[in-house]
Structure 1
Amino acid sequence: MLVVAVVLRFSLQRMPSVQARTHQTVLTEPDNLTKSKPQFTPPFRTAGRHIVDADGRRFKLASINWYGASDIYYVPGGLDVRHRSEIAATIRRMGFNSVRFPYSDQMVLENLVIAPELISANLDLLNAYALNQNGRLDEKLKGPRALDVFRACVEAMTDAGIAVIPNDHITNAHWCDGKNLCDASWKNDHYGPICKVRQTTESWIENWKIIMRPHIDNPLVIGADLRNEPRGLWGTMTWNMWATAAEQASEALLKMQPNWLMFVEGVSSANDCSGARNRPVKLSIEDRVVYSSHVYQWSGWSTLVPYHSRPYPSFALDMERNWAFLRRGNIAPVWVGEFGSPHGGDDRDHHYWDNLMRHLKDTDADFGYWALNPRKPENYDNETYGLLADDWQTIIEDWRYQDLRRLMPPVDA
């Protein structure tokens, strides 16, 4: 009882009231949705510009990013507020059929014991471990550790019929380390001792094996998003460097499970997949490569005119150059794995958003919205791009969510 009291008090202190917020709807529990089988049959492969299931039907990724395991506490967001199975059910009710699920390499390497207050709505994860009189895990015991929690959340989502795509999001555990060269690539050993978490291509691949090994026999873990926003020092990250590393990691993972899809993001912070025009990613198993691009309102810096200031023809031309040519030419699927806008938003946010929604509709591209989370882990800062309120159940049903719903495939498709 002491443990329960401690963790409940911690959760209540962290969870502000959501009653005063506007444009929110608590999604009801449609029994036939969360208990029905998914509307697709794994395993998956690519067929031209589409991902298709085992029956040859298109499976359009309508994804949401659920982050936290990549951050400073190594724990997916919301586990101190709601049970992981409830979060998974909410994602499914929102209409998303898949989740991009980030982790950090530091999380894998350290795999720390997780404090009970960080998972206080998931105390069943503590059942196998002893607690001391202060309600804390005995540090001498093995677990529940970060990888245990990560795996449990993946299984909760796949149990709910959601496809999961783990994502190597960052090397150092943090919300964003965009200015840190040690996080600008899948490897940083060439920077010498300046990097807190040093990583080679080989150790990066080993971390991927650790992440994916528990899910070899889970058909709804459909593949691996190999690295978030590879960029390197400005002007030094070539597509060929990244494509070669992506092939090396993909081959190692496909030896474990040949059915997995390999998601390869563009360079220049995932903006640019244009290198695939002349140097595609080629694997020993065909029909496994999905390219991925990120599109935000501040993107488009290569021409010094961000997307929030582009007229639609200029915006669409950049999308064509960066990734849409792959779909138009029926070469490969493209997953716009990150994009988003803040709740409310100013004129620039809406201008960018309207252009992107128009283009996603015109190209019928797969997509992944950033993000589900209402809060960032460090300092409990507001995640202005989040689609859920602080109770991890109430949807912010504003213009963003309404537009996303229009992009989602029908449930019976």
Structure 2
Amino acid sequence: MMFSFGAISLWLCLVTTGILASVPAWTPPLSTRGRYVVDADGNRFKLKGGNWHGASGTWTGSGDINDDANHHANENAHTMPLGLQYVPIDQILDSFEELGINTIRFQFSNAMLHDTTPVQDAWVAANPQFKGMTPLQVYDVVIKALTDRGFAVIVNNHTQLSLWCCGVDGNERWDESQSFDTWVSDWLFVVNRYKDNKRVVGADLYNEVRRDILTDPTWGGGGNADWQSASQLGADQIMLANPDILIIVEGINWIGLPVDGLPHSRPTLTPVANLSHTLLVSGKLVYSAHFYSYTGPNHSGATGIGETTDARYRDLSRADLFAVMNSEASYVALTEEMHYTAPVWMSEFGVLGRGGQGTSDAAWFGNFVDYLVQTDADFAFWPLVGYLTNGVGNGWALMNWDATGKRTGLFDGDDWREAAWNELIGSAGATGAMPAVPEWKLLTLDNGDFVQSVSVRTNNGDFDNGATKGACPDNLRLIGLSHSSTRGLCTDYSYGPGLWAADRAIEVVFDERHVGADWASGYTKYQCPAGYYASGYAIRGVKLSTVLCAHASQTLGTTSRTVWFDQGDNRADTLGGDFAPSQYKGSCEGDEYIGGVAFSTSLFRNGAPSAILCVSLLPWALCYHTCTIIPCTYFNKS
């Protein structure tokens, strides 16, 4: 869609005067298609959001918690969404509509969920309807008010203890001040509490995972500090409770000691290229990242203790900033048809507005906004709400009030960020119906069972007792396998979802009873029966134990070929990406399925997969690049 300059100017005028006072219509729940978030009608739903903090805590952790001076920027939220003490909630929501946003990232702490002490009357003086409620009950009512206005709400587990984030404060990891099981239990409590409100669209699992005093978080390193594993396991439980909800996983915010000469960095989403998430329900994963001018790729953001000579983001040239943002985060969304491809939500960014404008901060903010516009990125500003008295206070917020309820907002005349915000919020990017795209997902048995099929979990349970098992999500098939046996690649390429028959029948193959022609001479071959395709497998050590075969909803082809990968990589193409870095691997073409796996336990061989039988997906010969028959053109490669 094209707009004239006059039309854009009129639109911005309407926004800044508050005449546009409603969130555009959309249909929940939300899902993903490739790099885009879409609504239930398949239309793009760009996350244009902001953070409404407070319910995760504002106390700095020292001094009297009831003294406002001991809260960040002297803003005491009393473990509720900030602003309710001085401003009627409808006025706050009006200001959000005026900003033009459609999504609220809504923080909570685990401690708040269990706080049974009613809020004091003075804390909700501008909202007397909240008197006598607990902080959680206030949170409930605010969520309903937001969603009644049409906002999408993404609940964010920001902290465990009700403290201002983020430092060495007992909130560094999801299990820093509580057990992993408690973290998951609290998430299930939250998800079930809002399950019937379909405009509560997402679960943002944890905020800014970072090093504590002794331990760095890892991405796939195993053990208690493994954020990739913890978020995968937590997401699985949440998806079983509410398969409609988006799962938002933020990258690792910080590792190492911030001391010159010692290793330290901000990994963000860089490890996702080698190890991504595979959810039980496809089309529900969103990754997220945070960027501030005063932090950097190797700078903690500190001044004084913890400060190093590394560059901050505001020190980078425009070109270098764009390159770093691509490599740290945006590549996940911008690289198509990889196992890691997903929307990336820039769920925190911000800069001081009123009260100070550093030249480098202003340049960074302008460049950052330009980057968001150019890459059509989903975003959420931090923070939406703050307090200012005669221009003194938290100048970071887009909307500020004083103790009398007087507003000093972004559009009230003297905020230098207004032009950049209008550029950002007025940039629509891709709109309308988003086309279906192929799914590519990892199977990773690196740390144990990885059965990502809801049907197999429900109906078949432990299909190979004592073995380590992996199974593709219900709508995907196995298309690649590594020689080490711990990694596989799943897809719905060429056929799309629906290949598994409605009866959800499976057969666990553990011998050669279905083998006809000898397609791997001298090797043991586990082959699916006619009408079945491989959707998973099990191993004992590295030795193949069984192949999981699923009943197809259509007549499958029989034209086959053997793909060997015990001496080197033998992938059909680069679609799906390198699903097993530093390992030999093989994969079938996009119009094929795996019909069998061959291995050997002879001298000097350990039983790891050595070859796969790739079989044509459809019973007629496919013209792979130009076929026009409907079933084979669900996703056409060319």
TM-score band (shorter)?
Answer: 0.7 to 0.9
* Aligned position for 1:96: 101
Look up the match of 1:12: none
Q: Is 1:151 the equivalent of 2:140?
A: yes
Q: Is the 8 A contact 2:15 2:98 kept in 1?
A: no
Cα distance in 2 for residues equivalent to 1:42 and 1:171:
29
1:77 paired to 2:82: yes
The residue identity in structure 2 corresponding to 1:184 is E
Matches within 5 A, 1:156-175: 156-175=145-164
CA displacement, residues 128-186 of structure 1 (integer Å, 9 cap, x when unaligned): xxxxxxxxxxxxxxx51111001111111001111111111112212224132x21110
- Partners of 2:267 and 2:80 in 1: CA distance: 28
CA deviation after TM superposition for structure 1 residue 341, in Å: 0.5
Q: Deviations over 1:9-35 (max 9, x none)?
A: xxxxxxxxxxxxxxxx997664x734x
SS of corresponding position for 2:203: strand
Residue 325 (str. 1) matches residue 342 (str. 2): no
**Separation in 2, partners of 1:29, 1:273:** 37
1:319-358: CA deviation from partner (whole Å, max 9, x where unpaired):
1111111121131100000010001420121122122112
- When structure 1 is superposed on structure 2, of 231-240 and 279-288 the one drifting more is 231-240
Give, in angstroms, the shift of residue 112 of structure 1.
Answer: 2.5
State the shift of 1:286 in Å: 0.5
* 1:407 positional shift: 2.0
Instruction: From 387, 391, 403, give the equivalent of 1:375.
Output: 387
Change (3 A) 1:255 1:388: same
| Corresponding position: 1:362 with 2:371 | no
Counterpart of 1:184 in structure 2 is: 172
Alignment partners' CA distance in 2, 1:222 and 1:399: 33
Taking the aligned partners of 1:400 and 1:236, their CA distance within structure 2 comes to 36
CA distance in 2, matches of 1:313, 1:111: 51
Distance 1:103 1:125 in 2: 18
Equivalent pair of 1:271/1:293 in contact (CA under 8 Å): no
**TM-score, scaled to structure 1:** 0.81
Select 2:39's aligned residue among 39, 49, 53. Answer: 53
Report 1:213-232 matches (<5 A). Answer: 213-232=192-211
Structure with the larger strand share:
2
Identity over aligned residues, as a percent? 30
Deviation at 1:264, TM superposition (A): 0.4
Q: Structure 2: which amino acid aligns with 1:298?
A: Y
Q: Which has the higher helix share?
A: 1
Distance 1:264 1:399, change over 3 A: same
In 2, the alpha carbon distance for the partners of 1:384 and 1:294 equals 19
Do structure 1's residue 338 and structure 2's residue 318 form an aligned pair? no
Mapping of residues 206-245 of structure 1, within 5 Å: 206-233=185-212, 236-240=216-220, 241-245=226-230
1:222 and 1:179, CA in 2 relative to 1: closer, same or farther beyond 3 A? same
Deviation of 1:393 (Å): 4.7
Report the counterpart of residue 266 of structure 1 in structure 2: 251
Cα distance, 1:400–1:147 mapped onto 2, change above 3 Å: same
Superimposed CA distance per residue, residues 195-222 of structure 1 (whole angstroms, 9 cap, x where no aligned partner): xxx3011111112222232210111100
Q: CA deviation at 1:118?
A: 1.0
The CA deviation at 1:224 is: 0.8
d(CA) in 1 for partners of 2:199, 2:286: 16
What is the CA distance between 1:384 and its match in structure 2? 2.2
1:82-161 matches, within 5 Å, as 82-126=87-131, 143-161=132-150
Gaps of 5+ in 1: 1-24, 127-142, 189-197
- Match of 1:389, SS state, is strand
2:27 paired with 1:41: yes
| Kept in 2: contact 1:43–1:222 (CA 8 A) | yes
d(CA) in 2 for partners of 1:200 and 1:49?
A: 33
Structure 2, gaps ≥5 residues long:
1-13, 60-77, 221-225, 255-265, 300-309, 433-638
Secondary structure, counterpart of 1:402 in structure 2: helix
Aligned to 1:290: 286
What amino acid is the match of 2:410?
Answer: I
Equivalent of 1:350, from 338, 347, 362?
362
Tell me the distance in 1 between the aligned counterparts of 2:346 and 2:394. Answer: 20
Give the secondary-structure state (helix, strand or coil) at the position aligned to 1:268: coil
1:248 corresponding residue in structure 2: 233
CA distance in 1, matches of 2:351, 2:407: 20
Letter in 1 for 2:95: T
State the Cα distance separating 1:243 from its structure 2 match.
1.4
Moved more, 117-126 or 60-69: 117-126
Tell me the amino acid that sits aligned with residue 46 of structure 2. Answer: K
Q: Which residue is 1:134 aligned to? A: none
Report the RMSD for the aligned CA atoms in angstroms: 2.4
Aligned residue for 1:399, secondary structure, equals coil
Q: Find the aligned partners of 1:243 and 1:322 in 2 and give their Cα distance.
A: 16
Cα distance in 2 between the residues matched to 1:293 and 1:214: 27
Whole-angstrom distance in 1 between the partners of 2:116 and 2:109: 10
**2:421 paired with 1:401:** no
The list of structure 1 runs, each at least 4 consecutive aligned residues, that deviate by more than 6 angstroms after superposition, is: 410-413
Q: Which of 53, 57, 60 is equivalent to 1:67?
A: 53
Distance in 1 (alpha carbons) for counterparts of 2:242 and 2:332: 26
Q: 1:274 and 1:392, CA in 2 relative to 1: closer, same or farther beyond 3 A?
A: farther
Distance 1:384 1:43 in 2: 35
Over alpha carbons, which structure has the higher Rg?
2
> Conserved in 2, the CA contact under 8 Å of 1:374 and 1:392?
no
Q: SS of the counterpart of 1:168?
A: strand
State TM-score, norm by structure 2: 0.53
Alpha-carbon distance change, 57 to 399 in structure 1, aligned in 2, over 3 angstroms: farther
The secondary structure found in structure 2 opposite 1:267 is coil
Aligned equivalents of 1:28, 1:362: Cα separation in 2: 26
- Structure number with the bigger relative contact order (C-alpha 8 A, sep ≥ 6) is 1
Q: Secondary structure at the match of 1:335?
A: strand
Q: Which amino acid aligns with 2:28?
A: P
Aligned partner of 1:389 in structure 2 is: 400
Q: Is residue 62–residue 368 contact of structure 1 (8 Å, CA) maintained in 2?
A: yes
Larger displacement relative to structure 2 (84-93 or 65-74): 84-93
1:327/1:363 contact within 8 Å kept:
no
CA–CA separation in structure 1 for the residues paired with 2:149 and 2:82 = 18
Q: Distance in 2 between matches of 1:384 and 1:81?
A: 17
CA contact (8 A) 1:98 1:164 kept: yes
